[in-house]
Amino acid sequence: MLPAAVLSPFPLFLSFSCMFIQSFFFLGSREVAFVYAISSAGVVYTLARACSQGELDNCSCDPTKTGSSEDSKGSFNWGGCSDHVEHAIHFSQIFVDAKERKERDAQALMNLHNNRAGRKAVKRFMTLQCKCHGVSGSCTVRTCWQAMADFRRTGDHLRKRYNGAVQVTVNQYGTGFTATHTHFKRPSKNDLVYLEDSPDYCIRDPQSGSMGTGGRLCNRTSRGMDGCEVMCCGRGYDTARVSRTTKCECKFHWCCAVHCQDCQQLVDEYTCKSQT
């Protein structure tokens, strides 16, 4: 059997087209929760990095990181350019949350919560980076700055939160959530939350907006989300031999052009069988 991580809807969800995305955001599923969280995190990360690199006029390095401070290794002086994450978070709250703050229904509360979780994920992986100064490389004096970790760490963290997302219902005051299932803990500010079960992404369902995977191209040899075993949801796949035109026998001509011939190549294409 395939592992649960592969059988989850997430790989199939990632492969869908823009036709599905148009209706996707009206769902209250855990996939929507992840998209809002990762998008909000992306805004914070991109803006903070742009500020640090001097690409924007209204922000720069974190102005609060001045003077001296200390950590577990001792004292150090603030220097370099610390990523101004607090400014980026504040901007994200104004820009990304604007629509949801006007609505204030269950879907809006869910989106606001997941936006906040995404922003917090970026801040979670801030690291203190230092440079040593001293004779022969000794660390007599340290100059340090706060830097964001690679965005992949944020993405991996939010993917784990997706796997452990909590299904919720809005409380009687319309101000917060309670866990739908009483044996689950109340969601924290770091958790992703969702309102309804995900649609079956394997089958076509116009009501939920799912396009299904019938007719989708797949990779027969891949074990990843593009592989026929996963993409076709166990229905199998059809094989067709098709002719493709490719560039071949390319030669460089002085100066300066590359001339190629058009070659015909027979290849096998694999498409998922439709549900019966």
Say which CATH number the domain at 249 has: 3.30.2460.20
Query: pLDDT tens across 134-186, in order?
Result: 777 678 889 999 999 999 999 999 999 999 999 998 887 777 777 888 777 78
Q: Are residues 129 and 172 in the same domain?
A: yes
Q: What pLDDT is recorded for position 217?
A: 92
Which one, of 239, 244, 202, 234, lies nearest residue 217 by Cα?
239
The domain boundary residue, chosen from 136, 170, 197:
197
Domain region containing 109: 28-197
In whole angstroms, give the CA distance from residue 135 to residue 231: 59
Mean pLDDT, residues 235-259: 91
Q: What pLDDT is recorded for position 201?
A: 82
Query: pLDDT tens across 165-179, in order?
Result: 999 988 877 777 778
Read off the pLDDT band of 13 (50, 70, 90): low
49: which 2 tokens?
Answer: 């990095």
Helix axes of 85-96 and 106-124: crossing angle, nearest 10 degrees: 170
Inter-CA distances, 210 with 78, 121, 233, 258, Å: 51, 29, 14, 44
Q: Are residues 178 and 67 in the same domain?
A: yes
Q: In this structure, is residue 186 part of a structural domain? A: yes
The domain boundary residue, chosen from 197, 226, 249:
197
Mean pLDDT, residues 250-262: 89
The domain boundary residue, chosen from 167, 197, 227:
197
Sorted by sequence, the CB contacts under 8 Å of residue 172 that are 6+ apart come out as none
In whole angstroms, give the CA distance from residue 176 to residue 168: 9
Read off the pLDDT band of 253 (50, 70, 90): confident
This prediction has a pTM of 0.75
